[in-house]
Protein backbone atom coordinates (compact mmCIF):
# COMPACT_ATOMS: atom_id res chain seq x y z
CA UNK A 1 0.00 0.00 0.00
CA UNK A 2 0.99 1.98 -0.16
CA UNK A 3 -0.13 3.15 -3.50
CA UNK A 4 -3.57 4.07 -2.17
CA UNK A 5 -1.98 6.34 0.43
CA UNK A 6 -0.10 8.29 -2.22
CA UNK A 7 -3.21 8.35 -4.37
CA UNK A 8 -5.21 9.97 -1.58
CA UNK A 9 -2.58 12.67 -1.21
CA UNK A 10 -2.42 13.37 -4.93
CA UNK A 11 -6.14 13.43 -5.49
CA UNK A 12 -6.75 15.66 -2.51
CA UNK A 13 -5.09 18.42 -4.53
CA UNK A 14 -7.85 18.07 -7.11
CA UNK A 15 -10.72 18.08 -4.65
CA UNK A 16 -12.28 21.29 -5.94
CA UNK A 17 -13.89 21.70 -9.34
CA UNK A 18 -15.60 24.67 -10.84
CA UNK A 19 -19.30 24.55 -11.49
CA UNK A 20 -18.61 25.30 -15.14
CA UNK A 21 -16.66 22.06 -15.52
CA UNK A 22 -18.99 19.95 -13.39
CA UNK A 23 -21.70 19.22 -15.94
CA UNK A 24 -20.31 16.43 -18.09
CA UNK A 25 -22.17 13.71 -19.96
CA UNK A 26 -21.34 10.07 -19.34
CA UNK A 27 -19.17 8.43 -22.02
CA UNK A 28 -20.71 5.45 -23.81
CA UNK A 29 -17.47 3.46 -23.62
CA UNK A 30 -14.97 2.91 -20.84
CA UNK A 31 -11.21 2.89 -21.39
CA UNK A 32 -9.45 -0.44 -20.92
CA UNK A 33 -5.92 -0.94 -19.59
CA UNK A 34 -3.16 -1.75 -22.06
CA UNK A 35 -2.88 -5.34 -20.81
CA UNK A 36 -6.61 -6.08 -21.03
CA UNK A 37 -8.13 -4.80 -24.25
CA UNK A 38 -11.89 -5.30 -24.40
CA UNK A 39 -12.91 -8.03 -26.85
CA UNK A 40 -16.23 -9.73 -27.49
CA UNK A 41 -14.83 -13.10 -26.39
CA UNK A 42 -13.56 -11.68 -23.08
CA UNK A 43 -16.85 -9.93 -22.41
CA UNK A 44 -18.83 -13.11 -23.12
CA UNK A 45 -16.58 -15.15 -20.82
CA UNK A 46 -16.64 -12.45 -18.16
CA UNK A 47 -20.42 -12.36 -18.19
CA UNK A 48 -20.54 -16.11 -17.61
CA UNK A 49 -18.08 -15.94 -14.73
CA UNK A 50 -19.88 -12.94 -13.22
CA UNK A 51 -23.18 -14.84 -13.10
CA UNK A 52 -21.82 -18.26 -12.14
CA UNK A 53 -22.43 -19.24 -8.49
CA UNK A 54 -19.93 -22.08 -8.87
CA UNK A 55 -17.22 -19.54 -8.20
CA UNK A 56 -18.36 -19.71 -4.56
CA UNK A 57 -17.63 -22.44 -2.04
CA UNK A 58 -21.30 -23.39 -1.66
CA UNK A 59 -22.26 -22.97 -5.31
CA UNK A 60 -24.92 -20.46 -4.26
CA UNK A 61 -23.34 -16.97 -4.56
CA UNK A 62 -22.14 -15.22 -7.70
CA UNK A 63 -20.91 -11.68 -8.35
CA UNK A 64 -24.42 -10.87 -9.51
CA UNK A 65 -25.90 -11.97 -6.18
CA UNK A 66 -24.69 -8.74 -4.60
CA UNK A 67 -24.27 -6.66 -7.78
CA UNK A 68 -27.46 -7.41 -9.67
CA UNK A 69 -27.38 -6.21 -13.27
CA UNK A 70 -31.13 -6.70 -13.53
CA UNK A 71 -31.57 -3.96 -10.90
CA UNK A 72 -29.44 -1.02 -9.82
CA UNK A 73 -26.19 -2.96 -9.86
CA UNK A 74 -26.34 -3.90 -6.18
CA UNK A 75 -28.76 -5.82 -3.94
CA UNK A 76 -30.80 -3.19 -2.05
CA UNK A 77 -29.68 -4.71 1.25
CA UNK A 78 -28.06 -2.79 4.10
CA UNK A 79 -25.35 -5.46 4.16
CA UNK A 80 -24.83 -7.99 1.40
CA UNK A 81 -25.31 -11.68 2.06
CA UNK A 82 -22.61 -14.17 1.18
CA UNK A 83 -22.15 -17.91 1.57
CA UNK A 84 -24.04 -19.65 4.37
CA UNK A 85 -26.13 -16.54 4.98
CA UNK A 86 -23.21 -14.49 6.30
CA UNK A 87 -23.36 -10.71 6.07
CA UNK A 88 -20.56 -8.17 6.08
CA UNK A 89 -20.51 -4.68 7.49
CA UNK A 90 -20.89 -2.70 4.27
CA UNK A 91 -23.51 -2.11 1.64
CA UNK A 92 -22.65 -3.34 -1.86
CA UNK A 93 -21.71 -0.46 -4.19
CA UNK A 94 -23.26 -0.48 -7.65
CA UNK A 95 -21.41 -2.15 -10.51
CA UNK A 96 -23.06 0.16 -13.05
CA UNK A 97 -20.47 2.66 -14.29
CA UNK A 98 -17.84 1.20 -11.93
CA UNK A 99 -15.51 1.35 -14.93
CA UNK A 100 -15.26 5.10 -14.29
CA UNK A 101 -14.01 4.65 -10.71
CA UNK A 102 -10.28 5.20 -10.29
CA UNK A 103 -10.36 2.85 -7.28
CA UNK A 104 -12.80 0.15 -6.19
CA UNK A 105 -14.53 -0.86 -2.93
CA UNK A 106 -15.75 1.63 -0.33
CA UNK A 107 -12.23 1.87 1.11
CA UNK A 108 -10.59 2.14 -2.32
CA UNK A 109 -8.26 -0.76 -1.69
CA UNK A 110 -8.39 -2.08 -5.25
CA UNK A 111 -6.80 0.08 -7.96
CA UNK A 112 -8.66 -1.54 -10.85
CA UNK A 113 -11.66 -3.64 -11.83
CA UNK A 114 -9.31 -6.58 -12.33
CA UNK A 115 -8.01 -6.28 -8.75
CA UNK A 116 -11.54 -5.84 -7.43
CA UNK A 117 -12.76 -8.99 -9.18
CA UNK A 118 -10.17 -11.08 -7.35
CA UNK A 119 -11.26 -10.15 -3.83
CA UNK A 120 -14.81 -11.38 -3.16
CA UNK A 121 -14.20 -14.89 -4.54
CA UNK A 122 -11.86 -15.83 -1.68
CA UNK A 123 -13.40 -13.62 1.00
CA UNK A 124 -14.74 -16.04 3.66
CA UNK A 125 -17.88 -13.95 4.20
CA UNK A 126 -18.61 -13.31 0.54
CA UNK A 127 -17.98 -16.19 -1.89
CA UNK A 128 -15.87 -18.29 0.44
CA UNK A 129 -13.44 -20.15 -1.84
CA UNK A 130 -10.31 -21.20 0.06
CA UNK A 131 -7.92 -20.00 -2.63
CA UNK A 132 -7.73 -18.97 -6.25
CA UNK A 133 -5.95 -22.28 -6.92
CA UNK A 134 -9.21 -23.99 -5.95
CA UNK A 135 -11.16 -21.65 -8.23
CA UNK A 136 -8.83 -22.38 -11.15
CA UNK A 137 -9.05 -26.13 -10.56
CA UNK A 138 -12.85 -25.93 -10.59
CA UNK A 139 -12.89 -23.94 -13.84
CA UNK A 140 -10.41 -26.30 -15.46
CA UNK A 141 -12.72 -29.23 -14.71
CA UNK A 142 -15.54 -27.67 -16.77
CA UNK A 143 -15.17 -28.36 -20.48
CA UNK A 144 -17.21 -25.36 -21.54
CA UNK A 145 -14.91 -23.01 -19.67
CA UNK A 146 -11.85 -24.59 -21.25
CA UNK A 147 -13.22 -23.61 -24.65
CA UNK A 148 -14.37 -20.15 -23.54
CA UNK A 149 -11.01 -19.25 -22.01
CA UNK A 150 -9.21 -20.42 -25.14
CA UNK A 151 -11.45 -18.26 -27.32
CA UNK A 152 -10.79 -15.24 -25.11
CA UNK A 153 -7.10 -15.71 -24.32
CA UNK A 154 -5.75 -18.15 -26.85
CA UNK A 155 -3.80 -21.11 -25.54
CA UNK A 156 -3.13 -19.34 -22.24
CA UNK A 157 -4.15 -21.54 -19.34
CA UNK A 158 -7.13 -20.79 -17.14
CA UNK A 159 -5.78 -18.67 -14.29
CA UNK A 160 -6.67 -16.08 -11.70
CA UNK A 161 -5.24 -13.43 -14.04
CA UNK A 162 -7.34 -14.40 -17.04
CA UNK A 163 -10.50 -14.95 -15.01
CA UNK A 164 -10.33 -11.52 -13.37
CA UNK A 165 -9.46 -9.87 -16.68
CA UNK A 166 -12.56 -11.41 -18.27
CA UNK A 167 -14.82 -10.28 -15.43
CA UNK A 168 -13.37 -6.77 -15.63
CA UNK A 169 -13.85 -6.68 -19.41
CA UNK A 170 -17.52 -7.51 -18.92
CA UNK A 171 -17.92 -4.91 -16.18
CA UNK A 172 -16.53 -2.24 -18.51
CA UNK A 173 -19.60 -2.71 -20.69
CA UNK A 174 -21.96 -1.90 -17.79
CA UNK A 175 -22.51 1.76 -18.63
CA UNK A 176 -25.77 3.70 -18.33
CA UNK A 177 -25.64 6.82 -20.52
CA UNK A 178 -28.41 9.06 -21.88
CA UNK A 179 -30.08 9.92 -18.59
CA UNK A 180 -32.43 12.92 -18.58
CA UNK A 181 -29.50 14.86 -17.12
CA UNK A 182 -27.21 13.85 -20.00
CA UNK A 183 -29.85 14.87 -22.53
CA UNK A 184 -30.31 18.21 -20.77
CA UNK A 185 -26.56 18.93 -20.72
CA UNK A 186 -26.38 17.93 -24.40
CA UNK A 187 -28.91 20.62 -25.29
CA UNK A 188 -32.37 19.15 -24.76
CA UNK A 189 -33.68 21.63 -22.21
CA UNK A 190 -36.98 19.76 -21.95
CA UNK A 191 -35.24 16.63 -20.59
CA UNK A 192 -35.34 17.91 -17.00
CA UNK A 193 -38.34 19.37 -15.23
CA UNK A 194 -38.28 22.82 -13.66
CA UNK A 195 -37.95 21.16 -10.25
CA UNK A 196 -35.01 19.05 -11.42
CA UNK A 197 -33.27 22.14 -12.79
CA UNK A 198 -33.75 23.85 -9.42
CA UNK A 199 -32.21 20.79 -7.78
CA UNK A 200 -29.29 20.85 -10.21
CA UNK A 201 -28.66 24.52 -9.39
CA UNK A 202 -28.91 23.83 -5.65
CA UNK A 203 -26.39 20.97 -5.95
CA UNK A 204 -23.95 23.38 -7.56
CA UNK A 205 -24.68 26.15 -5.07
CA UNK A 206 -24.11 23.90 -2.06
CA UNK A 207 -20.84 22.58 -3.47
CA UNK A 208 -21.89 18.94 -3.80
CA UNK A 209 -19.94 18.72 -7.06
CA UNK A 210 -16.70 19.57 -5.28
CA UNK A 211 -16.64 15.87 -4.37
CA UNK A 212 -19.24 14.32 -6.67
CA UNK A 213 -17.45 15.59 -9.76
CA UNK A 214 -16.82 14.22 -13.22
CA UNK A 215 -19.18 12.51 -15.66
CA UNK A 216 -20.04 9.76 -13.15
CA UNK A 217 -20.46 12.22 -10.26
CA UNK A 218 -17.89 10.17 -8.33
CA UNK A 219 -14.89 12.48 -8.09
CA UNK A 220 -12.86 9.75 -9.81
CA UNK A 221 -10.44 8.36 -7.23
CA UNK A 222 -11.26 10.94 -4.59
CA UNK A 223 -11.54 10.05 -0.93
CA UNK A 224 -13.59 12.07 1.52
CA UNK A 225 -13.97 11.91 5.26
CA UNK A 226 -17.45 10.85 6.33
CA UNK A 227 -18.92 12.19 8.43
CA UNK A 228 -16.91 15.39 8.09
CA UNK A 229 -18.84 17.16 10.85
CA UNK A 230 -19.40 15.13 14.04
CA UNK A 231 -23.01 14.89 15.16
CA UNK A 232 -23.84 12.74 18.16
CA UNK A 233 -27.57 12.70 17.44
CA UNK A 234 -27.21 11.19 13.96
CA UNK A 235 -24.30 9.00 15.00
CA UNK A 236 -26.45 7.36 17.66
CA UNK A 237 -29.03 6.50 15.01
CA UNK A 238 -26.85 5.45 12.08
CA UNK A 239 -23.44 4.48 13.55
CA UNK A 240 -21.53 5.95 10.58
CA UNK A 241 -18.23 6.20 12.48
CA UNK A 242 -18.08 2.56 13.53
CA UNK A 243 -16.42 1.77 10.21
CA UNK A 244 -12.91 3.25 9.96
CA UNK A 245 -12.95 3.26 6.16
CA UNK A 246 -9.54 3.36 4.46
CA UNK A 247 -7.84 2.98 7.85
CA UNK A 248 -9.23 -0.56 8.06
CA UNK A 249 -6.82 -1.38 5.23
CA UNK A 250 -3.95 1.06 5.67
CA UNK A 251 -3.83 0.84 9.49
CA UNK A 252 -2.99 4.54 9.39
CA UNK A 253 -4.89 6.68 11.89
CA UNK A 254 -4.86 9.62 9.46
CA UNK A 255 -7.03 7.54 7.11
CA UNK A 256 -9.85 6.98 9.59
CA UNK A 257 -13.31 7.50 8.09
CA UNK A 258 -11.97 8.16 4.60
CA UNK A 259 -14.18 6.59 1.95
CA UNK A 260 -14.16 6.56 -1.82
CA UNK A 261 -16.65 9.11 -3.15
CA UNK A 262 -19.49 7.00 -4.59
CA UNK A 263 -21.23 7.69 -7.88
CA UNK A 264 -24.55 9.53 -7.91
CA UNK A 265 -25.53 7.84 -11.18
CA UNK A 266 -28.68 5.71 -10.80
CA UNK A 267 -28.75 6.60 -7.10
CA UNK A 268 -32.55 6.55 -7.06
CA UNK A 269 -32.30 2.77 -7.60
CA UNK A 270 -29.64 1.91 -5.02
CA UNK A 271 -31.23 2.32 -1.59
CA UNK A 272 -30.31 1.88 1.21
CA UNK A 273 -27.55 4.48 1.36
CA UNK A 274 -24.05 5.10 2.71
CA UNK A 275 -21.27 2.61 3.39
CA UNK A 276 -23.24 0.75 6.04
CA UNK A 277 -26.61 0.88 4.28
CA UNK A 278 -28.18 2.49 7.31
CA UNK A 279 -30.31 5.13 5.58
CA UNK A 280 -33.40 3.83 3.81
CA UNK A 281 -34.53 6.76 1.70
CA UNK A 282 -32.93 9.20 -0.71
CA UNK A 283 -34.49 12.29 0.85
CA UNK A 284 -33.02 11.36 4.24
CA UNK A 285 -29.64 10.71 2.62
CA UNK A 286 -29.69 14.17 1.04
CA UNK A 287 -30.64 15.77 4.36
CA UNK A 288 -27.83 13.98 6.18
CA UNK A 289 -25.19 14.74 3.55
CA UNK A 290 -26.01 18.45 3.70
CA UNK A 291 -25.79 18.44 7.49
CA UNK A 292 -22.80 16.14 8.03
CA UNK A 293 -20.63 17.19 5.09
CA UNK A 294 -21.59 20.80 4.46
CA UNK A 295 -23.07 21.97 7.76
CA UNK A 296 -26.27 22.99 5.98
CA UNK A 297 -29.88 22.59 7.08
CA UNK A 298 -32.04 22.20 3.99
CA UNK A 299 -35.72 22.98 3.72
CA UNK A 300 -38.14 20.25 2.65
CA UNK A 301 -38.51 22.01 -0.68
CA UNK A 302 -34.76 22.09 -1.26
CA UNK A 303 -34.47 18.41 -0.40
CA UNK A 304 -37.32 17.56 -2.78
CA UNK A 305 -35.67 19.55 -5.57
CA UNK A 306 -32.33 17.79 -5.09
CA UNK A 307 -33.99 14.36 -4.97
CA UNK A 308 -35.82 15.18 -8.20
CA UNK A 309 -32.51 16.10 -9.85
CA UNK A 310 -30.86 12.91 -8.60
CA UNK A 311 -33.72 10.91 -10.10
CA UNK A 312 -32.74 12.51 -13.40
CA UNK A 313 -29.37 10.72 -13.21
CA UNK A 314 -30.95 7.33 -13.90
CA UNK A 315 -29.57 6.30 -17.28
CA UNK A 316 -30.40 3.84 -20.03
CA UNK A 317 -29.39 0.29 -19.16
CA UNK A 318 -27.82 -1.79 -21.93
CA UNK A 319 -29.89 -4.70 -23.16
CA UNK A 320 -28.33 -7.94 -21.97
CA UNK A 321 -29.01 -11.55 -22.76
CA UNK A 322 -28.31 -13.67 -19.72
CA UNK A 323 -25.52 -16.19 -20.39
CA UNK A 324 -25.93 -19.93 -20.69
CA UNK A 325 -23.37 -21.29 -18.24
CA UNK A 326 -21.15 -24.27 -19.15
CA UNK A 327 -22.83 -27.43 -17.89
CA UNK A 328 -21.41 -30.14 -15.63
CA UNK A 329 -23.79 -33.03 -16.29
CA UNK A 330 -23.81 -35.78 -13.70
CA UNK A 331 -21.56 -34.00 -11.20
CA UNK A 332 -21.74 -31.62 -8.28
CA UNK A 333 -19.24 -29.48 -6.39
CA UNK A 334 -20.90 -29.81 -2.99
**Share in percent of the chain as helix, strand, coil (round to 5):** 45, 5, 50
Sign of CA dihedral 280, 286, 288, 289: positive
Sign of the Cα torsion 167, 168, 171, 172 reads: negative
Of the candidates 305, 273, 39, 24, the residue with the CA atom closest to the CA atom of residue 153: 39
| Catalytic site includes residue 126 | yes
Residue from 79, 48, 77, 78 nearest 64 by CA = 48
Q: Are strands 258-260 and 223-225 parallel, antiparallel or unpaired?
A: antiparallel
245: which strand partners? 258
Cβ atoms of residues 76 and 270 within 8 Å: yes
Q: Which of 257, 174, 258, 165 is nearest to 216 (CA)?
A: 174
Q: Which of 74, 126, 171, 302 is catalytic?
A: 126
Catalytic residues: 126
Amino acid sequence: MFKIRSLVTALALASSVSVASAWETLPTEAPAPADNATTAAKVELGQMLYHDPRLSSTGTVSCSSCHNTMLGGEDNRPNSMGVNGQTGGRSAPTVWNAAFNAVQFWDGRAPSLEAQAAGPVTNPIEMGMKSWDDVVARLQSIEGYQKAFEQAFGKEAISKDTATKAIAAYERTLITPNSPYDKYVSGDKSALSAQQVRGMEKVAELGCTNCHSGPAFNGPGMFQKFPAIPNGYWEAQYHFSKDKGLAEVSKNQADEHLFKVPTLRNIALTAPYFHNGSVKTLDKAVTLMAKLQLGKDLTKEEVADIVAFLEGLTGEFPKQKMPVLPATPGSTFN
